[in-house]
Amino acid sequence: MNLDIFKEELSDRKKVVRGITKDQINSELMANGYPALYIETDSHIIFCNSTLTIDEISISLPGLTLIEVVKRLRENSIDAYITRNSIGMLPAELLIDFDNKIIITENVDISPKNIDEIHDKSILNIPALEESSILKTIVYVYSVNENRIYGTNNEIFSYYREGNRLFTNGLLEDTEVMIEYDINKFFIYINDENVIELNKLLDDSIDSINNKILLNNVNSNNWDKV
């Protein structure tokens, strides 16, 4: 007698795809890293995958030392310093990714909401976690489920800012605030186990002792294919 057995999922919960992201790696590196550069600027600074971007200017880091990075920053009118003389000759590839201008979102669970309580993990790069080193600009207040953007003209669904407090009319459970997070005084951390995407490194095609140091600290399961 044939028995047809059907296997059927009993749960409709979405399966979680697990993996390791660059963001997670950077968080681990930060936990065991230390401040290498101190920067004060109103410019947009990005350290990402061994590239330094200053507003619209891009500078490749492979082949540079930390002291040379400071020199490049100063050449572009950025106040920059190394945190200790002993690290000046370390390779710049070991600097951990950082962006001093980002967009963050936060649930608005109360009105008024203290904007000083809204923070991104980038706060860890700020000396003494000083709130005065951050400019927070409200971009949008919105509700996802209602597909609604709150106005600023005292409508039923509207908001206004008074000092560091956000007042929201028509507050819903899923109301969110989108904030531009702009840091003007910060550290750039370093870790001698920094991981950079290999394609970014190989694109630079720079033959230097710094690349050899870096490659010793980059992990890959496919070295035979590189």
Residues 175 and 193 in one domain: no
Residues 109 and 177 in one domain: yes
Question: Cα–Cα distances in Å, from 82 out to 44, 66, 67, 136, 211?
Answer: 19, 7, 7, 27, 21
- The answer to whether residue 11 sits within a structural domain is no
Using only the alpha carbons of the chain, give its radius of gyration. Answer: 23
pLDDT tens digits for range 92-143: 988 999 999 999 999 999 999 999 999 988 899 999 999 999 999 999 999 9
Residues 60 and 115 in one domain: no
Residues 90 and 190 in one domain: yes
Residues 167 and 63 in one domain: no
Q: What does the mean pLDDT of the chain come to? A: 81
Pick the last residue of a domain from 166, 182, 198: 182
Give the strands of the sheet with 79-82, arranged side by side.
79-82, 34-40, 185-190
pLDDT tens digits for range 144-171: 888 899 999 888 999 999 999 999 999 9
Q: Using the CB atoms, write b or e for 140-167: b if 16+ within 10 Å.
A: ebbbeeeeeebeeeeeebebbbeeeebe
Q: Distance between CA atoms of 119 and 155, rounded to whole angstroms?
A: 28
| pTM > 0.75: yes or no | no
Domain limits for position 81: 22-99+186-225
